[in-house]
Structure 1
Amino acid sequence: MTQTLLTLARNCARPVIMVLGIGTFLAVLGPFGSYTFGWPMVWLYWTGFITLGGVIGYAVGHFTPLWFPQAPRWLVYVASAMVVSIPITAAVSWVNVMASDQGAPVNVAFIYGLVLVISGFATSVVYVVDRLTEDAAVSGVAPAQAGAALIDKLPVKLKTAQICSMSAEDHYLRVRTDRGEALILMRLSDAVAACDGLDGARTHRSWWVARAAVEDIRKSDGRGVLVLKDGVEAPVSRTYYPALRDAGWF
């Protein structure tokens, strides 16, 4: 439980810092006349919109590689900025109308253009931070990584993470790492082949587990369950039990 909370805190720290940082920066600038709200309302105004945009941007960044697996990385960021700008424009327009004494109409197209500039700025910050984080991890003494066939399908923030486990879900594959998880379109057999250089093994027809991710083991009657450090329980079938036992997992 403690390990799970620490992992969750580590995964949330960077996005929270970025939201507060960008939101505070925009609150100080006070675009769209938001400076008239005064503090702390202008700060709540922008951190709220940046949080909403971040949630939508995360969803776009997560699902775009699933729907368009060959899409280049830059296109995912551009798509995020454009899609995020739509609901943010609606929200800004509504707030501006409500805040106006006369309830004056707003130029939605003009506001969308301005919001797109801000979304582009925020997305650029995220892109730069992601690249710097990735480059820093690569330039260090990094543990063995999976092959490109798997890594290229993962979100940017997980490309240099350590893979803990993988499980098949219909036509998709859930990849769990020490920095979070992602659902990608890939066969487990292909992912396992890409992880050939890692210290892990197939435990079930639908599961692969990294040895270092195992915290506890329960076994009985030729089967078993691997309790992982993130709290996930991976099944061990009769088919794979003997090989794991011979390899010293049990």
Structure 2
Amino acid sequence: MQVLIVAPRFWGVIVAVSIVLGVAGPFDTYEHLALAPRLAYWFATALATFLAGYLSIGLLFHFLLGDVGNRPVRIALAGLTAGLPVTAIVVLLNMAIFDEPTTATGDILTLYVNCSLIAGAVTVLFGLIDNGQPAARTASTPAVSSPTVPLSEEPSPGSAVAAKARPKLLDRLPPHLRGDVTYLSMQDHYVDVHTEKGSTLVLMRLADAIAELEGVPGLQIHRSHWVALDAVAGSLRRDGRLFLRMSDETLLPVSRSWFEAVRAAGLA
């Protein structure tokens, strides 16, 4: 949620949706409100309902659904569940502005059905798009990449070594942060890319970020973490769990699924 609300793209989408709905004035809002209040109403509705739906879907997946069952079905169920808080927010906003819980929908049940169908359709759409992306690596195929020449070397253009000398992932980073990658951490839909010069968030999947580090010796140690072997400063155990200590003193957890790969790499 924290990553989401500071993303310019998120606010751009919310503002764009608010303008379209505010100008169009669906659900009788065109007749009930002037342009400025109508824009404000749809901005508040779009922002509040999206955040509530996003949070409820995230909690449902984390605590109940997880990886059980067919992914499109799970996403559809999550979307339908999100209809509950979304409907509640719409009802409260309508009561505050129109002195009635619904406008054009006629009753709360119809409003809930509409909100649930929209939330379900949107989440299924995103799920289908996400399924079309390359699958993440599993514990049976740990993401260990082969060594390559240091970034400081300047191989001749067009040579086979030149193609591997610079990871593609660096092209996604601001120029002042482009250096040796130390580790990657997944945060929602973003990858927190750490280099020797700092860190930044990149909107992509962890598996795709790892693929763009081809040639950098590293290892995935958790479903949310990848480390460069040269950046691991040591390891320690806390409450029976294994952690890797990185060069910047960050502690990253090692999951049981990747423990054997970590031990095989000599890190534990």
Q: TM-score, normalised by structure 2?
A: 0.47
1:6-31: CA deviation from partner (whole Å, max 9, x where unpaired): xx589834433433333333323322
Q: Which residue in the other structure is 2:40 paired with?
A: 44
Q: Deviations over 1:80-112 (max 9, x none)?
A: 332222223223223323333xx4565211222
Distance in 2 (CA, whole Å) between partners of 1:62 and 1:105 is: 27
Q: Specify which of 66, 72, 95 is matched with residue 93 of structure 2.
A: 95
Q: Which has the larger radius of gyration?
A: 2
Higher helix proportion: 1
Task: Say whether the 8 Å CA contact 2:4–2:10 is kept in structure 1.
Answer: no
Which residues in structure 2 correspond to 1:86-165 (within 5 Å)? Answer: 86-100=84-98, 103-104=99-100, 106=102, 107-120=107-120, 122-123=122-123, 126-127=126-127, 130-131=129-130, 135=132, 138=134, 146-147=137-138, 164=184
Residue 53 of structure 2 is aligned to residue 57 of structure 1: yes
On the 8 A contact 1:60/1:79 being kept in 2, the answer is no
Q: Which residue in 2 is equivalent to 1:243?
A: 266
Greater relative CO (CA pairs within 8 A, separation 6+): 1
Residue matched to 2:246: 226
| Residues in 2 aligned to 1:65 and 1:149: alpha-carbon distance in whole angstroms | 24
CA distance in 2, matches of 1:213, 1:40: 57
Task: Check conservation: 1:217, 1:227, Cα contact below 8 A.
Answer: yes
Aligned position for 1:19: 14
Q: Secondary structure at the match of 1:210?
A: strand
**What is the CA–CA distance in structure 1 between the aligned matches of 2:37 and 2:91, rounded to whole Å?**
17
Gap runs ≥5 in structure 1: 1-7, 139-143, 151-162, 167-173, 183-197, 246-250
Root mean square deviation, CA, Å: 5.1
Deviation at 1:226, TM superposition (A): 0.8
Q: Which string of whole-angstrom CA distances, capped at 9 and with x for unpartnered residues, describes residues 132-168 of structure 1? A: xx74x64xxxxx9522889xxxxxxxxxxxx8259xx
8 Å Cα contact 1:224-1:235 kept in structure 2:
yes
Cα distance 1:12–1:32, how it changes in 2: closer, same or farther (>3 A)?
A: same
The letter of the residue matching 2:74 is V
Amino acid corresponding to residue 266 of structure 2 in structure 1: A
Q: In structure 1, what is the Cα distance between the partners aligned to 2:48 and 2:84?
A: 11
Q: What is the TM-score normalised by the length of structure 1?
A: 0.50
Alpha-carbon spacing, 1:114–1:10, altered in 2? closer, same or farther (3 Å):
closer
State the SS of the aligned residue for 1:164. Answer: strand
Distance 1:21 1:148 in 2: 41
Query: What amino acid is the match of 2:90?
Result: V
Report SS of the residue matched to 2:266.
helix
Check whether the contact 1:217–1:226 (CA below 8 A) recurs between aligned residues: yes
Provide the C-alpha distance between the structure 2 equivalents of 1:213 and 1:50, rounded to a whole number of angstroms.
46
Distance in 1 between the 2:244 and 2:119 partners? 49
